[in-house]
Amino acid sequence: MVRLNEDEKMVNLIREGLKQTGGYCPCRMERTPENKCMCKEFREQIADPEFEGYCHCMLYYKDKK
């Protein structure tokens, strides 16, 4: 299960960054298709049933369940 970070302040900050970058991860310098939110790195991580944790920018969290 993937959910938003529970820290509402963090979510708002990241969403504002996404608006400013046109949907690219505000934590990444390169504006490539791989860095468009939800980034390729996190999509690959959530495909792994053993992965549990946050995406790079900490907007999303994946539970192992």
pLDDT value, residue 64 = 84
Interval 4-33: pLDDT, tens: 999 999 999 999 999 999 999 998 999 999
Q: What is the pLDDT of residue 61?
A: 98
Domain locations in the chain as residue ranges: 2-62
Would you call 56 exposed, middle or buried from its count of C-beta atoms within 10 A (0-12, 13-18, 19+)? middle
3-state secondary structure of 38: coil
For residue range 39-60, list pLDDT tens digits in order.
Answer: 999 999 999 999 999 999 999 9
- Is the whole-model pTM more than 0.75? yes
